[in-house]
Amino acid sequence: MNVTGGGALSAAGGWSRGLSTFFYRRPNQYVLLLLVPPLLWFGTVYLGSLFSLLLQSFYSINDFTAEIVREPTLATYKQLLTQPAHVDIILRTMTMAIAVTVACSLIGFPVAYYMARYATPRMKTFFYIAVLLPMWTSYLVKVYAWRLILAKSGMLTWLLDTIGLGRALDAALATPVIGGPTLASSYIGMFIVFVYMWLPYMILPIHAALERVPRSLIQASADLGAKPGQTFRNVILPLAFPGVAAGSVFTFSLTLGDYIIPGVVGAPGYFIGMMVYQQQGLAGNIPLAAAFSVVPIVIIAIYLTIVKRFGAFDAL
């Protein structure tokens, strides 16, 4: 009993040992063996789907039967780029993405700068968690919270009325284009929600970039006679810029692709994401939805190449 058991064990050990030696000598086969399952999955499910999306953007839809014609054509792209309504949607989405990116960097920079330079180690941990927590809180719950806050009798209106700024709010809502009947149905409201949602994505990369600025550099600048403002402008800001660029990739891309926020909070104008969702759903026009979703991919690709020049990827 014992002997056979021991024999089996050593035989198994020998077999397993042999296999280990085999793969140690041939690292390529070992890597291949490890990578085949995940890449097979990823390649078919994700890249395969992406490819099919791209393919279907070259299909078109028959206007009379509403059936998808599976023949390659540029008709859908022509429809996308020549109909004024569609061009409006693309421009509107891009304007919002730019505005949100600028606002996020303006609000995020002081927070990141404070974290990186002034906070004690204890405070740093506190700040870090304080930035991470809202980032990981359920996306939908946060959108819903803003719906409550921006509602007509909601918290923000109450707050502004209490501190006597109710008039200012009314004036802001009376502004053409960005205003609306209530905060919850205006571009101002939508803008606030977008800025709130993506702010942590901006703070973290700026913080990472600022953490890497050596303290000696700032001291050297001061020793050489620079005033704090000059040091900030000429030393810190250029070094922090890759972080801002990296953060802007997130805020930009997230705004371009979102379709829930413009639906829940905001004015009646359409955004790219809503168009994609609606075209595939109610209209069943997958080719147009596909063509619309190629727009953010192209914009982000262009944006990435620009931002790469600013060293954004070193800051990630």
Partner 1 sequence: MHSSYDRPSLLHRAAAVGGLVFMHFPVLIIVLYAFTTEDRTYQFPPPGLTLHWFTDAFTRSDIWSALGLSLGVAACATFAALVLGSLASLGLARSRFWGKEAITLALILPIALPGIITGISLLAALKLANVELGFWTIVLGHATFCLVIVYNNVIARLRRIPRSLTEASMDLGADGLQTLRYVLLPQLASALLAGGMLAFALSFDEIIVTLFTAGHQKTLPIWIYDQLFRPRERPLTNVVAVMVILITMLPIIAAYRLTRSSEERS
For residue 81, give both structure tokens. Answer: 């780029």
CB 138, min distance to partner 1, A:
4
Among 1-9, 135-143, 169-177, 205-213, the segment contacting partner 1 (CB under 8 A):
135-143
Quick one: 60 or 293, whose CB is closer to partner 1?
Answer: 293
Distance of CA 211 to the CA centre of its chain: 22
The DSSP element (H or E) to which 69 belongs, if any, is: strand 68-69
Quick one: 40 or 177, whose CB is closer to partner 1?
Answer: 40
**Residue 228 sits in the site that holds partner 1 (CB under 8 A):** yes
Distance CA 252, CA 302 (A): 12
**Residue 27 sits in the site that holds partner 1 (CB under 8 A):** yes
CB 148, min distance to partner 1, A:
5
Distance CA 162, CA 169 (A): 12
Which one of residues 80, 96, 149, 188 is an interface residue with partner 1 (CB under 8 A)? 149
Q: Which of residues 193-222 bind partner 1 (CB under 8 A)?
A: 196, 199-200, 203, 222
Among 1-9, 72-80, 106-114, 170-178, the segment contacting partner 1 (CB under 8 A):
106-114
Distance of CA 249 to the CA centre of its chain: 7
In 3D, which of 241, 276, 295 has the Cα closest to residue 97?
295
Residue that is written with structure tokens 């490819």 in the block: 51
**Residue 98 sits in the site that holds partner 1 (CB under 8 A):** no
Residue that is written with structure tokens 């078109």 in the block: 60
Which one of residues 189, 205, 266, 273 is an interface residue with partner 1 (CB under 8 A)? 273
**Residue 45 sits in the site that holds partner 1 (CB under 8 A):** yes
- The dihedral built from the CA positions of residue 158, 159, 161 and 166, taken in this order, carries a sign that is negative
**Residue 19 sits in the site that holds partner 1 (CB under 8 A):** yes
